[in-house]
């Protein structure tokens, strides 16, 4: 009888989480529309819409009968590992939601939506002061959320926010990994710059690059990687991203008529995210266990496509003629030049334009700043100065204005704190997964040489995508590669690609 009652309670929970998942999907689509389609005049109403959806989801998750059903479902151990994992994740989601008052959830949603719109104007004007009042409110609410979540989860405030993006990974796990990388960077970056300087500077393709031609090429490349547009869209936005739902994936990019490669690599990056979403198990759609294993896991999938596969010599040899066929013949598309161009090492201000070696420095900076900001070590008004000091310490450069400094990313101004470590953890996991895939998949590089990502996508679908949230980040890597996250794989990849 206990087993039957437990299973009945589980099924009630599954039905409730399916409704919550549907609300989340609606919010995701409204969020995509706000970035890709919505006219500026719709911002206030959109903030209300997102806030109400967030509030409804919170009400469903914190209703009194949820606690009763969780307790009843947990009385008997479920022999099915997927249902057992789903129940654990339901409990975790309930604990997080119960820690936050509904009015705080809605207030944060409104503040984040309003601040993100002002951030766009502030970045265009390179003027942090324009967004400071709205950003101060976002930080105030984020700190309040972090304290409440930390108390409920037994974590520090910042760790509680990190937990929302990658379960089981905290600042104490990340800090030594980043400290070790900073030491590696101090030695590797000058060497990589010297190696680059020993070769002729790469030629840049001659533009302009019409947006329509870029968009058509980007769509073909996404399809070549395995994304089918009966379940996806490609649009433009201020900041490239992947959103939507597993059956209706929305990817965006930013086109620049002076640089035809930026959009190409951005789209292939977002396609990696999209393929992960498309390959999640439909049997557990809208259930916690059926979602991706966290944002570090998600970033590993975008980066294994963009950085590990697409920027390999094999794939670039195929991509060059595709670029020439789209934009016209140009010696810049010759394999050797294209390789140097796509893997040029340079200390720059913009994270999304950074090379593989310097990119983690941008993430380390943001990790240190956001953790200090949430913990109250400095105030929002101090961010530009703290940013510039940190950038000088890590890369020896100081941005000339706020647009090239603390205003360049959308994340904080949209209330997202604790996400940034996922980028570099994902890059490290991508290197580890790619090394394993090369050993496991015969002819992987030969396939890349003809522009075929199918063998890689198939291996990832089986070993990562189809596992969804059955495992945590390190256990997912262990099942796929035989060991938890090993940053040495990333350093070995960088050494081979940039220091040889």
Confidence of residue 323 (pLDDT cuts 50, 70, 90): very high
Mean pLDDT of 132-149: 98
So what's the pLDDT on residue 102? 87
Residue 47 scores a pLDDT above 90? no
- At 182, which helix (H) or strand (E)? helix 171-197
Question: How big is the chain by its Cα radius of gyration, in Å?
Answer: 23
Q: pLDDT tens digits for 350-396?
A: 998 899 999 999 999 999 999 999 999 999 999 999 999 999 999 99
Catalytic-residue membership of 270: yes
So what's the pLDDT on residue 1? 58
Selected catalytic residue, list 72, 116, 145, 270: 270
So what's the pLDDT on residue 58? 92
Mean pLDDT of 127-144: 98
Chain centroid, CA 46 distance in Å: 23
Confidence of residue 2 (pLDDT cuts 50, 70, 90): confident
Q: What's the Cα-to-Cα distance from 271 to each of 45, 127, 216, 314, 342, rounded to whole Å?
A: 30, 33, 15, 19, 18
> What residue ranges do the domains of the chain occupy?
2-167, 172-499
What is the C-alpha separation between 143 and 140, in angstroms, rounded? 5
Residue 13 scores a pLDDT above 90? yes
11 Cβ contact list (under 8 Å, min separation 6):
none
- For residue 212 the two structure tokens come to 């329509």
So what's the pLDDT on residue 181? 98
The tokens 């470590």 sit on which residue? 421
Yes or no: say if 475 and 485 are a contact pair by the CB < 8 Å rule.
no
Yes or no: say if 233 and 250 are a contact pair by the CB < 8 Å rule.
yes
Q: What is the DSSP secondary-structure string of 76-124?
A: S--SSHHHHHHHHHHHHHHHHHHTS-HHHHHHHHHHHHHHHHHHHHHHH
What is the C-alpha separation between 124 and 402, in angstroms, rounded? 10
For 172-499, give the CATH class.
Answer: mainly alpha
So what's the pLDDT on residue 199? 87
Q: pLDDT tens digits for 213-267?
A: 999 999 999 999 999 999 999 999 988 899 999 999 999 999 999 999 999 999 9
Q: What is the mean pLDDT of the chain?
A: 96
End-to-end distance of the chain based on CA atoms, in angstroms? 66
Q: What's the Cα-to-Cα distance from 357 to each of 116, 157, 171, 353, rounded to whole Å?
A: 29, 30, 22, 12
- For residue 461 the two structure tokens come to 């679908």
Q: What's the Cα-to-Cα distance from 195 to each of 343, 491, 495, rounded to whole Å?
A: 12, 16, 11
Report CA torsion sign: 468, 469, 471, 474.
positive
Confidence of residue 481 (pLDDT cuts 50, 70, 90): very high
Q: pLDDT tens digits for 438-473?
A: 999 999 999 999 999 999 999 999 999 999 999 999
Q: What's the Cα-to-Cα distance from 179 to each of 193, 367, 378, 457, rounded to whole Å?
A: 21, 12, 21, 32
Tell me which of 135 and 343 has the higher pLDDT.
Answer: 135
pTM over 0.85? The answer is yes
């Amino acid at each position: 009888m206990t087993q039957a009652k437990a299973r009945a309670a589980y099924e009630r929970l599954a039905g409730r989480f399916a409704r919550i998942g549907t609300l989340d999907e609606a919010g995701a689509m409204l969020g995509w529309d706000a970035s890709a389609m919505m006219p500026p005049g719709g911002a206030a109403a959109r903030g209300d819409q997102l806030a109400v959806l967030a509030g409804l989801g919170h009400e469903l998750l914190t209703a009194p009968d949820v606690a009763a059903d969780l307790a009843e479902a947990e009385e008997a151990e479920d022999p099915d590992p997927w249902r057992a994992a789903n129940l654990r994740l339901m409990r975790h989601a309930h604990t997080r939601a119960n820690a936050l008052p509904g009015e705080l959830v809605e207030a944060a949603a409104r503040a984040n939506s309003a601040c993100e719109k002002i951030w766009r104007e502030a970045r265009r004007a390179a003027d942090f002061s324009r967004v400071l009042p709205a950003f101060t409110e976002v930080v105030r609410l984020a700190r309040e959320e972090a304290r409440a979540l930390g108390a409920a989860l037994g974590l520090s405030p910042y760790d509680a926010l990190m937990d929302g993006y990658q379960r089981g990974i905290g600042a104490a796990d990340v800090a030594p990994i980043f400290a070790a990388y900073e030491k590696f960077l101090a030695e590797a970056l000058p060497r990589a710059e010297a190696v680059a300087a020993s070769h002729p500077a790469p030629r840049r393709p001659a533009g302009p690059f019409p947006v329509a031609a870029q968009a058509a090429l980007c769509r073909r490349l996404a399809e070549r990687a395995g994304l089918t547009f009966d379940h996806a869209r490609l649009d433009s936005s201020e900041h490239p991203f992947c959103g939507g739902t597993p059956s209706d994936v929305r990817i965006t990019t930013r086109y620049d008529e002076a640089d035809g490669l930026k959009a190409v690599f951005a789209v292939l990056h977002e396609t990696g995210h999209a393929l992960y979403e498309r390959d999640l198990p439909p049997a557990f759609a809208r259930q916690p266990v059926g979602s991706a294993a966290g944002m570090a896991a998600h970033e590993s999938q975008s980066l294994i496509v963009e950085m590990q596969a697409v920027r390999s010599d094999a794939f670039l040899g195929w991509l060059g003629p595709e670029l020439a066929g789209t934009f016209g013949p140009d010696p810049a598309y010759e394999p050797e030049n294209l390789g140097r161009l796509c893997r040029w090492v340079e200390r720059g201000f913009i994270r999304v334009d950074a090379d593989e070696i310097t990119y983690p420095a941008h993430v380390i900076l943001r990790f240190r700043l956001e953790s200090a900001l949430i913990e109250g070590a400095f105030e929002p008004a101090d961010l530009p100065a703290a940013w510039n000091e940190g950038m000088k310490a890590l890369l020896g450069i100081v941005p000339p204005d706020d647009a090239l400094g603390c205003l360049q990313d959308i994340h904080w101004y949209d209330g997202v704190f604790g996400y940034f470590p996922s980028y570099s953890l994902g890059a490290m996991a991508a290197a580890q997964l790619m090394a394993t895939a090369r050993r496991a998949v015969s002819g992987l590089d030969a396939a890349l040489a003809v522009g075929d990502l199918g063998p890689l996508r198939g291996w990832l679908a089986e070993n990562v995508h189809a596992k969804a949230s059955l495992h945590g980040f390190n256990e997912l890597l262990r099942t796929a590669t035989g060991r938890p996250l090993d940053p040495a794989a990333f350093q070995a990849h960088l050494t081979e690609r940039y220091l040889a």
